[in-house]
Every structure is written in C-alpha cells, then in structure tokens.
Amino acid sequence: MTCEPGLERDDLDMCETHEVDFRSAEEARASLPDTGYVAEVFRVMGDSTRLSILYLLLKREWCVHDLATILDTSVSNVSHHLRLLRTMRLVKATKVGRRVVYSLDDEHVETLMSEAFKHAAHG
C-alpha cells in the first residue's frame, strides 16, 4: 500500500507502519454521518428519571404532579426533565385546566425503548 497523490498524507498517515490502508480510513471518515443529533437523543434518554417518564408515557399520558408522585421526586425536578424532553420533541404538553398533561411525541422513541428494554431483559 502506497500513498497516492491527491490525498493528504498529513491528515491520514496510516500507511507508514500500519498495513491498514489510509484510503479505507478516508472512506470511513467520509461515510461517518453527523452523530450530534442522535447522540443528543440518546443522552436525553440516558437518565434514569427521564427514561422512567418516557416509560410511563408509553402506556398513557400523565400530568406533572402524578409523575412526580410516581417517581418519588419533586414536581420541580420532573418539570425540569420534561422541559428537556419537550425541547427534544420527545414529549408534548397539553394544557387541561390548571394541569399540563404530557404524552409521547415521537413514535421512534417507543421503538428505541421497547428495543432497549427487550435487550435488558435478555441480558
């Protein structure tokens, strides 16, 4: 494997001692999508309290007060978490009287969660 012209060797100098050709690396880098958004979704789901909220919303909608009671934490805490979930458009809020009822806003999240919990039960 030799370094061909046209490719910046300074950027991907994998052909010095590696037998791995740097063209594969170049292709790999090019094929890499923007992971930022997906990572953010995973990060938001990667908290026990928020994941519990999402899990509860799988079956039915809940208002903030009830979520806080079920999860044994403060209304304020739940509200903060819900704001994050709302920002990421994973849940949506509907005002009902003086209450705000939350429900899932993303079908994809349900798929992700059912997959994840399925695997957790398996392992």
Partner DNA sequence: CGCATATATGATTATATGTTCAAATATCGA
Partner DNA sequence: TCGATATTTGAACATATAATCATATATGCG
Q: Which of 25, 41, 56, 93 binds DNA (CB under 7 A)?
A: 93
Q: Which of 9, 80, 83, 108 binds its own copies (CB under 8 A)?
A: 108
**Closest separation between CB of residue 84 and its own copies, Å?**
12
Q: Which of 12, 56, 100, 112 binds DNA (CB under 7 A)?
A: 100
Core vs surface per residue 18-52: b (16+ CB within 10 A) or e? eeebbeebeeeeeeeeeeeeeeebeebbeeeebbb
Quick one: which H or E segment has residue 24? helix 22-31
Write out the residues near DNA by the rule CB under 7 A. 16-18, 43, 46-50, 63-65, 73-77, 79-84, 93, 95, 97-101
